[in-house]
Amino acid sequence: MVFQTRLSWIILCCIWLLRFAHTGEAQAAKEVILLDSKAQQTELEWISSPPNGWEEISGLDENYTPIRTYQVCQVMEPNQNNWLRTNWIAKGNAQRIFVELKFTLRDCNSLPGVLGTCKETFNLHYYETDYDTGRSIRENLYVKIDTIAADESFTQGDLGERKMKLNTEVREIGPLSKKGFYLAFQDVGACIALVSVKVYYKKCWSIIENLAIFPDTVTGSEFSSLVEVRGTCVSSAEEEAENSPRMHCSAEGEWLVPIGKCICKAGFQQKGDTCEPCGRGFYKSSSQDLQCSRCPMHSFSDREGSSRCDCEDSYYRAPTDPPYVACTRPPSAPQNLIFNINQTTVSLEWSPPADNGGRNDVTYRVLCKRCSWEQGECVPCGSNVGYMPQQTGLVDNYVTVMDLLAHANYTFEVEAVNGVSDLSRSQRLFAAVTVTTGQAAKTKNMATSGSQNSAGSQSRKTAPSQVSGVMKEKVLQRSVELSWQEPEHPNGVITEYEIKYYEKDQRERTYSTVKTRATSASVNNLKPGTVYVFQIRAFTAAGYGNYSPRLDVATLEEATAYSDQGEVKTNVEDISGVSYQLSSD
């Protein structure tokens, strides 16, 4: 009779506590539930040994939903050993398992006549196995987890005042290696109501961080372990160079220590945790760019996800142009082309084109053609013609064409070019002029784009004869001093002499000139230890005479310098760049 009364107390307490414990409780997001006795409305059918020990009872929560629990109160007799075993629990990928127990426990001092037989603790055990071993309990196979004691126990007075004292204890199992396990509760003589049993493991739930997807990850086997996880970039993203996305899953199921990141590919930009394509009329050329940009002038993109914009018709982008600059076109023809004839030399000058095509890299090139008198057929001038300063890549708007044939027809075409001229399929735009060499006096004329102007012959004068007696007077490492005699037949007043010189191994492919009014000159800025070829010609109102025979002169090496007077001079250059000469007589 006494036992039945005590049993009714524990049942009443258990049912009331079931309602109290269920209210407001929610599953933590980082927990994976393997067992929750409160969530099962049908009988749990756990194994009780002996059968008259633990008893399964039913209760209703505040929503009148059935809830199952177990209780035992064998406090009248000593040496109690009542076992309660759960069904087999599959653990999945977990290595560390958490067991949460919610229970009430009667204060032994509040029960009369049970001194020496009543206990206020119970034991928690587990048994690892790869499969369900049936309904028998082999106690020797179970490993003790801990002895569970209540922080608070209740009395008869608590029941009367409806003061419910619910205890919650959490224990950890692991590391586990087999597929599943059993839990067992051992009563040794306490009055217990096991309100709920929840078994779970923790994992870090899948998240997107820095455009990288980190999958569900089970925590490590140790409390202090961090599981390193490598992320996978979201669609249309790629790993940042040498900075792969990684995170660490902590033992508490929290993501920690993000390292590296993903970035949106070319043609895509970040929006939240995704990469969206650039819209029409926009582009992104590199994954290193943050946002899509509007297409530059004279370009377009007619699809989404463009990494570059295409140029409009008649506009181009040079291979070295970055994607963010506008598309450009070839320049128009040079303007105001004028020419100046001196016997076999023609000087050309012009003005820049009206339209540079939107670029600042405009240069000029000159095409020389020699045309026949009869049919007007023209052929390229060939390598015998010289250009000063050069034929192509001209930065300034003038050029001198030398060594032309006397009394011949020539056509010169001057074209402005820029970085996209060679990409254009359109017709070339140039300014042209046609002239006749060998005229009696200097003439100056103008030509327009595509026009052909020729300068007619006037009363002829004879150019000066050939310069003779060319001698080297002094040879140094970087300069040569020359002298010569006037032409035997000047045929007028000689106003200047022109010295043409070039490195011998260059064979006139590139040469320079020096002009002077005297019959001697010093040619400077030469290379030490190099053979140069020198030729001189005179100039009058009738034009240039023929060049003198070639004179080969080798500049000295860095060590010494020589002069015809036998003087040896040594150049000494200090670290400041100032040169001195030391002379010895």
Query: Mean pLDDT across the stretch 105-129?
Result: 88
pLDDT of residue 569: 42
Contact 105, 190 (CB under 8 A): yes
Determine the pLDDT at residue 303: 94
The pLDDT value given to residue 112: 81
Distance in angstroms (rounded) separating the CA atoms of residues 340 and 432: 14
pLDDT tens digits for range 228-244: 999 999 999 999 988 89
pTM for the complete prediction? Answer: 0.59
Is 449 a residue whose pLDDT tops 70? Answer: no
Residue 450: the pLDDT is 45
> What's the pLDDT tens digit per position in 521-544?
999 999 999 999 999 999 887 778
> Which pLDDT band, with edges at 50, 70 and 90, does 581 fall under?
very low
* Interval 266-324: pLDDT, tens: 999 999 999 999 999 999 999 999 999 999 999 999 999 999 999 999 999 999 999 99
Helix (H), strand (E), coil (C) string for 59-107: EECCCCCEEEEEEEECCCCCCCCEEEECCCEECCCCCCEEEEEEEEEEC
Most confident of 66-70, 219-223, 388-392, 555-559: 388-392
Here the tokens at position 373 are: 């008198």
Terminal-to-terminal C-alpha distance of the chain:
144
Q: Tell me the DSSP string of 344-411.
A: TEEEEEEE--S--TT-S--EEEEEEEEE-SSS--EEE--TTSEEES-SSSB-SSEEEEESPPTT-EEE
Q: Which of 37-41, 477-481, 490-494 has the highest mean pLDDT?
A: 477-481
Tell me if 149 sits within 8 A of 101, measured CB to CB. Answer: no
CB neighbours of 148 closer than 8 A, spacing ≥ 6?
Answer: 101, 103, 121, 122, 123, 124, 169, 171
pLDDT-based confidence at residue 42 (cuts at 50, 70, 90): confident
Nearest to 84 by CA among 187, 201, 173: 187
